[in-house]
Amino acid sequence: MNAPFPLPPRVPGTDTDDIVIVANVSRHFGGRRRFLSGVAAPVVRAVDRVSFRVQRGTCFAIVGESGSGKSSLARLVVGLLRPTEGEVTIDGVPLSTLDSAGLRAMRRKVQLVLQDPRASLDPRMTVFDTLCEALTVHGLHRERTERLDRIKTVIGLVGLNLAHLGRYPHELSGGQRQRVAIARAIICEPEVLVLDEPVSALDVSVQAQIINLLADLQAKLALTYVIITHDLALVEHMADAVGVMYLGRFVEQGDVGEVCGAPRHPYTQSLMAIAGHSAPISRDRPAPVLEGSIPSPLAIPPGCSFHTRCPLARRLAIGATTVVETADGRVPRPCAENPPPSLPAPGGRSTATCHFADERLPDFDHRSNIRN
């Protein structure tokens, strides 16, 4: 544990500016036969053929509801999960070429910050121990003074002071804890930070502090962010590119300005409508409501997986000739039967995976008829 771990060499020819490359990655859970009973557990397709690239120094956001697979995707990027198929390449090194020790060494470059700082710090370790552990694990700064210097630097970077070093997590406030979590993540000078809902567990007033801190750190340390969130406002504020996830797949991805400014997929459109940052806000203009809830990943609907809730499909079905009667209402035949194509936007800076990506979203009635 004391020797600095050599990082694996880059694969030649992949020396691009894309520090994270996720190529056609899938991750399925279950399906294994159970011990003794021999019954195969059902397969959950948590992540299904997802691809994206993140440019060095930028921020990529993954947006989705719970159950969409966004947390699994984050863990695939960090290498905590091995993909069932596809390849994750970090800084030119395909993760599949690494053994478990190599993966551990690679984590110096890719760090994960979790949602709930209260739970993500070991309650029995002081801030100092927590920070030290990161250095010990990677065999960095083994000299005591060097180590102290590094810890001092980092603690200052995240806006804490030396007095906090001797404290235990429960002696810190939520915001301070998240600062510690961030400090632990950056102490080994990583290049990529994967942030899993970094502010959603915090109080409103503290959220803004952390968001600002993240922005400062990115600028200062030239970090690359992959941020997982359900909050489109945060995406618009922080991210350069975004992937909107629904049932394990990206339904729309691309440049934030384009995806958020002019969403083409009906799901993104609904999310944007709900986000409702447009002031002035008032109850006289109720936001459109999306029907039903996200289906179980055990039973992903055929065709376009969004068709069970898609307002656009409902609307289109009214005039269409090829209509299928489903349990959730009438939808155009392609939606219910064919996987949707990924259509690039006219500008080419985003794609939407929808049969009718370029149809205009109708002003649908928000009165919902719930079936699930």
Partner 1 sequence: MSIMPNVLSAPERAAPVDAFAPQSRWLLLRRILSQPKGVVGLTLVTLYLLLAIFGPMLAPQDAFRQNFAQTLRPPSAAHWFGTDQLGRDVFSRVLVGARATLGIGVGGVAVAFLVGVPLGVLAAWRRGWIEAAVMRAIDVMLSFPDIVFALAVVAILGANMQNVIIAVGIVAIPVFARTARAVTLSILAEPYIEGSIALGANPVRVILRHVLPNISGTLLTLSTLLFASTLLSASGLGFLGLGTQPPFPEWGTMLGESRSYIRSHPYLATFPGLFLAVSALAFNLLGDALRTIYDPTSRRVARRPPILSLLRRRPPPGEAQQQSAEKATDLAVSVRGLRIAYRTGEGLLEVVRGVDLAIRPGRTLAVVGESGSGKSTLLRAVGTLVNPQEVAITAGAIRIGGEQALGLGPAALRDLRRRKVGIVFQDAASALNPVLTIGNQLAEAVTAGSRLDSETVRQRCIALLRDVNIADPERRLDMYPHQFSGGMKQRIVIAIALAQNPEVLLADEPTSALDVTIQQQILVLLTEIQKKRGMAILLVTHDLNLVARFADDVAVMYAGRLVESGDVASVLERPLHPYTQALRASAPGGSEGRGRHLRTIAGEPPLIGRLPSGCSFRPRCQRSANRAECASSEPGLRAVAGRDVACVFAEEATR
Partner 2 sequence: MFVLKRLGSALPTLFAVSLLVFLFVDLIPGDPAQILAGPTASNEEIESIRKFLGLNEPLLTRYGQFLRGIWDPSAATSFRTHRPVVVELSERLPNTLIVSIGGLALGLVVGTIAGIVCAMRPGGLADAAITVLTLAGISMPIYWLGLLCIWLFAVNLGWLPAAGASTPAHFVLPILVIATRPAAMFSRLVATSLLETMGKDYLDTARAKGLSETRVVLFHALRNSLIAAVSVAGVQFGGMLGGSVVTETVFGIPGVGRLLVDAVSRADYPVIQYAILMFAFFFVVINLVTDLLTQWLDPRTRDQERAI
CB 139 within 8 A of CB 2: yes
Q: Are strands 241-246 and 59-64 parallel, antiparallel or unpaired?
A: parallel
Q: Does residue number 140 form part of the binding site for partner 1 (CB under 8 A)?
A: no
Asked whether position 367 contacts partner 2 by CB under 8 A, the answer is: no
Stretch 95-124: interaction string toward partner 1, x if CB under 8 A: ------x--xxxxx--xx-xxx--xxxxxx
Nearest CA among 115, 103, 42 for reference residue 74? 115
Residue 208 binds partner 1, judged by CB under 8 A: yes
**β-pairing, 192-196 with 224-229?**
parallel
Name which position in 69, 83, 159, 334 contacts partner 1 (CB under 8 A). 159
Contact map string, positions 34 to 73, toward partner 1, x by CB under 8 A: -xx----------------------------xx-------
Dihedral-angle region of residue 29 (phi above 0 means left; psi in -120 to 50 means alpha; beta otherwise): beta
Q: How far is the CB of 146 from partner 1 (least distance, A)?
A: 19
The answer to whether the beta carbons of residues 98 and 92 sit under 8 Å apart is no
Taking phi over 0 as left and psi of -120 to 50 as alpha, with beta for the rest, 71 belongs to alpha
Is 36 a binding residue for partner 2 by CB under 8 A? The answer is yes
Instruction: Transcribe 218-283 into DSSP letters.
Output: HHHHT-EEEEEES-HHHHHHH-SEEEEEETTEEEEEEEHHHHHHS--SHHHHHHHHHH---SSP-T
Residue 299 interacting with partner 2 (CB under 8 A):
no
By beta-carbon proximity to partner 1, the closer residue of 73 and 343 is 73
Q: Which of 200, 370, 360, 367 has the alpha carbon at shortest distance from 287? A: 367
Q: Closest approach of Cβ 122 to partner 1, in Å?
A: 5
Q: Which stretch binds partner 1 (CB under 8 A): 39-47, 89-97, 273-281, 298-306?
A: 273-281
Near partner 1 by CB under 8 A: residue from 16, 24, 97, 372: 372
Applying the rule CB under 8 A, the residues between 165 and 204 that interact with partner 1 are 168, 170-176, 181, 184, 188, 203-204
Find the shortest distance in angstroms from Cβ 45 to partner 2. 17
Segment interacting with partner 1, rule: CB under 8 A, options 11-19, 331-339, 350-358, 362-370 = 362-370
Determine if 232 is a binding residue for partner 1 (CB under 8 A).
yes
- Please choose, from the candidates 76, 46, 86, 62, the residue with its C-alpha nearest in 3D space to the C-alpha of residue 247: 46
x/- letters, 41..60, toward partner 2 (CB under 8 A): xx------------------
Question: 121 contacts which partner out of partner 2, partner 1, none, CB within 5 to 8 A by kind?
Answer: partner 1
Residues with Cβ within 8 Å of 40's Cβ and at least 6 positions away in sequence, in order, are 30, 31, 32, 33, 34
Residue 283 binds partner 1, judged by CB under 8 A: yes
**CA–CA dist 147, 132 (Å, integer):** 8
Binding flag, residue 34, partner 2 (CB under 8 A): yes
- C-alpha–C-alpha distance, residues 263 and 352, integer Å: 9
